[in-house]
C-alpha cells in the first residue's frame, strides 16, 4: 500500500525530457520561399501562410548582393511593434548587411518565445514601408510533430 517516492521523481524526469525535446527540434525556413528576400513581396502575408514558427527554427534570408541590377537589401531586428508598424529603424539591430544574403543566405535562429520583428532598412526605410519587406514571427514551443 506504500506510495513510492520515486514516482514523482520519474514524472518530473519525463516532463523535463519532454520539454527539452520540445525545444531541440527545428526546421530551416527560407524567408519568402522561392521568392527569397526581395522588394515588392508581401512577407507579412507569407509569414501568416507559412507559420507558425517554432523555437529553434532557423530563418534563412537569401538575397543577391547589390549590383547595377540588384538593389541593396538588409535584415534588421526591430525592437517593438511600434517600430515595426512605422518602419522606425532608430533602435533596430542590424542582423545582416547587403553583402550577407548571397550564397546560402543569412541564418537567424529563433531562440526566444517572444515577437521578432524583421525588416529591410535599405533605401531610407522605403523597402519596409512601400516594398512590404517586413514580417514578424512569434516562435512557439514545439510539442512534437
pLDDT value of residue 17:
42
pLDDT value of residue 21:
45
Residue 107: which H helix or E strand, with range?
Answer: strand 106-109
pLDDT digits (tens, 9 = 90+) for 45-92: 999 999 999 999 999 999 998 888 888 999 999 999 999 999 999 999
- Alpha carbon distance 129, 15 (integer Å): 45
Nearest to 101 by CA among 30, 27, 53, 26: 30
pLDDT value of residue 61:
97
pLDDT digits (tens, 9 = 90+) for 15-28: 434 444 444 589 99
Bond before 87 cis per omega within 30 degrees? no
Predicted structure pTM score:
0.80
Amino acid at each position: 500500500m506504500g506510495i513510492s517516492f520515486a514516482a514523482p521523481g520519474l514524472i518530473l524526469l519525463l516532463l523535463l525530457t519532454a520539454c527539452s525535446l520540445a525545444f531541440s527540434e527545428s526546421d530551416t525556413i527560407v524567408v519568402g520561399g522561392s521568392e527569397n528576400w526581395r522588394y515588392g513581396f508581401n512577407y507579412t502575408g507569407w509569414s501568416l501562410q507559412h507559420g507558425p514558427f517554432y523555437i529553434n527554427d532557423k530563418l534563412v534570408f537569401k538575397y543577391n548582393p547589390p549590383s547595377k541590377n540588384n538593389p541593396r537589401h538588409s535584415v534588421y531586428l526591430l525592437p517593438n511593434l511600434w517600430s515595426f508598424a512605422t518602419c522606425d529603424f532608430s533602435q533596430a539591430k542590424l542582423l545582416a548587411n547587403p553583402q550577407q544574403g548571397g550564397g546560402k543566405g543569412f541564418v537567424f535562429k529563433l531562440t526566444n518565445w517572444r515577437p521578432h520583428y524583421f525588416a529591410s532598412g535599405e533605401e531610407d526605410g522605403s523597402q519596409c514601408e512601400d516594398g512590404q519587406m517586413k514580417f514578424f514571427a512569434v516562435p512557439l514551443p514545439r510539442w512534437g510533430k
